[in-house]
Each structure stands twice: as C-alpha cells, then as structure tokens.
Structure 1
Amino acid sequence: MSTQRSFTQTLVAVAWSFAGLRRKRDFDEDVGALNPFYVVAGAFLGCAAFVGILLGAVRLATA
C-alpha cells in the first residue's frame, strides 16, 4: 500500500491533471495515496487561479 501524499505533492498531481499531462503510471500510484480532501482543496485553488488569470488577461486586453 502507498503512503499518504502531502498537500504539496497533491497540488502537483492536481496541477499536472489540469494540464492533461499526467502519466498513467503516476495516476495509478496516486489513486490510493491522495487524500480526497487535499484533492478537492487543490482543485478549488487551481480553479481560482485559472479564473484569476483569465480575469487579469481580460482586464489587460480591455484596458
């Protein structure tokens, strides 16, 4: 059985998943090792960062 991943390791896994560049081998290792709470928190942080970047780009484009 895999050891539990830290919040930082979970954020890295979520970031690679957002980019769509996650290897199957890494995904298979993470299935049992990621804390679901960390995954949800990382997804919210990733979404907030993505929306913030989009809003900043729109503000720059329309300024």
Structure 2
Amino acid sequence: MYQLQVENMSCGHCVGAVTKAVQAVDAAARVEIDLASKQVKIDSSAALPVLSAAIVAAGYPVTAAA
C-alpha cells in the first residue's frame, strides 16, 4: 500500500483522472482518494515511481510518497 500527497485535486473529475492514470499502469490497482487532505492510497503491485509518474503525467503533482 502506497500513500501519496497529490496536489491540484479538487473535484470528482480529478478523482477519476488520478484513478484512471493509476489503473492504466495496473488495472487491478485499488485507489482510495481523500480530496480534503489530498491523500491518495494505492494498493498495487506496480512500482511506486511508475505510479507517481503516471499521476504527474495526468497533470497532478505528487509532492510526497511513501
């Protein structure tokens, strides 16, 4: 389970875009997003740098990841 801080998310469209970006890398990934805290939790077998890069490419800066 990875936890990322993702900026510029403010609505349901943003949630969908980030989820779609992650699932383009790993279709089986589980994604939980809390808009208020800008926290994204990802349960995936893909590597964290690859997932982060996909989110950044979708237009959402990843400012912290663990």
Point out the structure with the larger strand share: 2
Higher RCO structure, 1 or 2 (CA under 8 Å, sep 6+) = 2
Instruction: Specify if TM > 0.5.
Output: no
Q: Name the larger-Rg structure.
A: 1
TM-score (norm 2): 0.29
